[in-house]
Structure 1
């Protein structure tokens, strides 16, 4: 099968690999499309230390079932069925897993991060059946590649305890920030503001239902007061660098919550006084639990046309390296880029 191999940092090449070995309890998936995550870009450049040369990355994906191994009958899957999969594999037996917090599992591994797993930038991938989520054939299949980042967003807004009627600020209008807008609205937020420097991304965020702010237009807290009439109940920082965290604390009400989902900097400095004396909470958000993922999948499976706004373009495997290079250079792409891995099958 064909794969996209990270041959060296900043070099993604087409390569041939053996088809995945599929064991009992696993499902073989013919991959249709896989989204390029920000963490994949940082892996491509070597910035995050979580990807290595020789690896096949990819975890935001959708496909169709190619085969079912023994031990999968109880799941009710059928060959040819459209599916996505939760890339977080947990032990299912520890205290965290028993509590439904699989992202806390000390034995967890992630498809697309673990270099030992040939992941979803490949024409086929083998996945534990319990991680596979069936999708409706009536929904455009590429929407399934949006489920994983939307699950990240659902988890981030739930960590922030967004309640119906609240006024929510999102800092960063990239793909995760865009997903957070949709998740906050689904959780009942009355209004969502998003602070984003790039005009194309601001326009996209407006189409998703948010009011977009230009951080260069003035102090963010003053802009928030102008639009909300007060400070935000909750802020989600989808960037995660010192200036955005400072702005998040400034723009969130006393006793409010800042959910940190962006990981733009490995270390952050911020005003302890803004946290302690004004009783704001800072909560970390990483990945999602199984329920978040299934809730995101169920919402996507309704086929809302707004999901099409999240996809800027689709590219072939042959054009994947150029797409990665462009995104790494901040080429102005407003939304998500999907790599189509089914073109060779469709041409046969």
Structure 2
């Protein structure tokens, strides 16, 4: 089968590789659509921390935002899965440790991460092996575009839930990229007043174009009460700023990662009695995201700028963007092209 393989920093090619065979408890999914994100771009550039820690090594087959159809089942898997449209969790725990048995498989020390960690191949390929326990069926209203947006949507939903807001309260989101915009869309669907803060006018203009009325820069941000802050940016200074601007006694959620350490003054956290929440993955948020998409309460399809084939994936990861794509943040890959 054809697969996109990153062979080294800034080097990738489409290769013919052996198709996967499902092991016990596994299925093989024929991939309809896969998204690429900032983490994938970091693997392509060589900046991703897993490469330094040894949790990832070239060659790597990326792709952890995906949907498709179950094409094969392995031993121990109900054949009723065959032909079902699915997406799935990126985080594949060992299933035996204390974290896994407590429902925190996404924190398992020995976990695989599809397309990212410990060599599990990703979805930028015609077929993908997945444990059946990681699968989530997709209802008819969730088309391939939405299906490949379930994983980032799950990250965003967990971030919104972590903010602990009630309808009518006010949320400030740092970073109007894919996760930040999804956080905003999900929060709006829950009756929250959303404000977005960013740096670059194209992304701010795009946010306004899809319905966000309160879009600011650091220079224009009004002096308002913010009942929670979600930092979905990669700016090293924003974690400290989030603690400074949030209402005392409320919550700050960190989901974005900067390329350098972000310093927070714990004295401010303590004196303001702020709760700090970290979000690693979509685990625990996938089913809820599918429900939001299926109901029409959240429609993130405008966030997808273009869908390209495997041969164009390297350009997308390198930041090549034809002007016709506009400023929407997400790029999808159709491995069948």
Q: TM-score, normalised by structure 1?
A: 0.87
| Cα RMSD after superposing both structures | 2.4
The answer as to whether partners of 1:10 and 1:44 remain within 8 angstroms in 2 is yes
Give distance in 2, aligned partners of 1:251 and 1:192.
15
What whole-Å deviation, never above 9, does each CA across 1:139-168 have from its counterpart, x for those lacking one?
322210000001111112222223333211
Give distance in 1, aligned partners of 2:140 and 2:248.
47
Give distance in 2, aligned partners of 1:299 and 1:59.
20
Partner residue of 2:275 out of 278, 281, 286? 281
Give distance in 1, aligned partners of 2:212 and 2:219.
17
| Alpha-carbon distance change, 43 to 206 in structure 1, aligned in 2, over 3 angstroms | same
Instruction: Give the 5 Å matches for 1:1-348.
Output: 1-50=1-50, 51-73=56-78, 76-79=80-83, 81-186=84-189, 188-218=190-220, 220=221, 223=222, 225=223, 230-289=224-283, 291-303=284-296, 306-326=299-319, 333-343=327-337
Structure 1 residue 128, shift from structure 2 partner: 0.6
Q: Secondary structure at the match of 1:217?
A: coil
Q: Secondary structure at the match of 2:306?
A: strand
Q: Which of 158-167 and 172-181 deviates more? A: 158-167
The answer as to whether partners of 1:57 and 1:119 remain within 8 angstroms in 2 is yes
What whole-Å deviation, never above 9, does each CA across 1:73-107 have from its counterpart, x for those lacking one?
18x4232x221111111233443334333323333
Give distance in 2, aligned partners of 1:284 and 1:305.
23
Give distance in 2, aligned partners of 1:281 and 1:326.
36
Give distance in 2, aligned partners of 1:202 and 1:253.
24
| Alpha-carbon distance change, 151 to 339 in structure 1, aligned in 2, over 3 angstroms | same
The answer as to whether partners of 2:23 and 2:74 remain within 8 angstroms in 1 is yes
The answer as to whether partners of 2:207 and 2:215 remain within 8 angstroms in 1 is no
| Alpha-carbon distance change, 273 to 210 in structure 1, aligned in 2, over 3 angstroms | farther
Give distance in 2, aligned partners of 1:301 and 1:342.
25
Structure 1 residue 305, shift from structure 2 partner: 7.3
Q: Secondary structure at the match of 1:326?
A: coil
The answer as to whether partners of 1:175 and 1:310 remain within 8 angstroms in 2 is yes
The answer as to whether partners of 1:172 and 1:196 remain within 8 angstroms in 2 is yes
| Alpha-carbon distance change, 91 to 161 in structure 1, aligned in 2, over 3 angstroms | farther
Structure 1 residue 332, shift from structure 2 partner: 7.3
Aligned length: 331
Give distance in 2, aligned partners of 1:54 and 1:254.
47
Structure 1: unaligned runs, 5 residues or longer:
344-348
Structure 1 residue 138, shift from structure 2 partner: 3.9
The structure with more helix, counted as a fraction of residues: 1
Structure 1 residue 298, shift from structure 2 partner: 2.4
| Alpha-carbon distance change, 327 to 108 in structure 1, aligned in 2, over 3 angstroms | farther
What whole-Å deviation, never above 9, does each CA across 1:292-338 have from its counterpart, x for those lacking one?
1221122223356732211111111111111111269xx97432100
